[in-house]
Structure 1
Amino acid sequence: MDILPGELLRQIVSLCDFGSIIRLRQISRRLQYCANEVLFEQGKASIGNELLKDHESGCFVGREKLRMGKMTSFLRAYMHNLQVLRLADADCTLTLTNVCQLSQAVPNLACLEIIISGQLALEPDALRGLAMFRNLKELRISDWSPRMVIRKGGCYRQESLPPMPKLETLILESSRDSVTKILTQMRAEGICLPELRNIEPDQQVVSWGT
């Protein structure tokens, strides 16, 4: 591929999926430069266990787990203008610090999807960091069961979502009981989502007055 004209090579790389582009960066300096240009202009990324199949090919993938710190640094350096991010089946644990750092790495993110499975786990209150995403308009969370968080002095409360001033669509693909707990806690805390238009629990669209 090194003998191909630069523009043709760039067009070929732009047709590859995110995981393939990450792997192309490891082949040669020319491909790395070309892949970096394509990544900078890409608006979408899907990060999950497909990047763990070959642990040596991903610059932010360890032998067994997704390294959130390195992934965040990578997105900040090469995909700062990312608009859509999907975290699915990624073998890692999201912490509050991870989410806050991610918001700084991709400040223009408009759509975020988090699929919580047996691989991807959340630390208590990790999603509170979503308040740092200033331009987030659509949030999709699957299989999240909110837990009780014990605070200093023995007080406790239910996990919920933070204020997100520009959020327009919230999709909660969890049990109706979990969705009810999340919304009830948000209302109890007086959390306002002024731009919210729709909530979609269990595939049914329910309007929620704010």
Structure 2
Amino acid sequence: MTARIDHLVTSGTFTLDGSTWDVDNNVWIVGDDSEAIVIDAAHDATAILAALGGRTLRAIVCTHAHNDHIDAAPALAAATGARILLHPADQPLWKQTHPGHSPDGDLSDGQTLTIAGVDLHVLHTPGHAPGAVCLHAPDLATVFTGDTLFKGGPGATGRSFSDFPTIIDSIRDRLLTLPPATVVRTGHGDSTTIGAEAPHLDQWISRGH
């Protein structure tokens, strides 16, 4: 069976530094008709379970630990038995949302996750959060960027645990080096491509300063 990418949008809130915003999140499911992984279990475990359609969930992969990307992860794990994977540098953020529950495993730069015969390569891309990661799936010509890179520029860096020069370095060194046709599937909003975003790096740097 051929691996595919399924997508749903869930809605909830993002809370950090004492403020709360309403947000819509992209949830990405990579797999085939029998097994899958979920990238960012946001807001609604019931909706994600429905989208899985009875497939075996092998892992819940967190691109970072802001609450809007992980709030449904423990419930989804409890319902499916899947392991929650997070880069350890985001443990402080995780604990703000789930103080009594720890992820089941670590993500690390260079690690490869394989699902339905497709490899996803873990790229540590700090800046939006210390443990932010992207997942590059060359066979699907796709990179899942969480909140590191969006259509139109970098993720936000104006709050705790974030840093603008760091996110620029991550995007320049880890993402813009990918093939231009690579589809960028983001944590919020529309998808884009590496080729569409790469020419604007200098503009982002100027805007950020």
TM normalised by structure 1 equals 0.29
Higher relative contact order (CA 8 A, sep 6+): 2
Greater helix share, 1 or 2? Answer: 1
**Max Rg structure:** 1
Q: TM-score, with normalisation over the residues of structure 2?
A: 0.29
**Higher strand content, 1 or 2:** 2
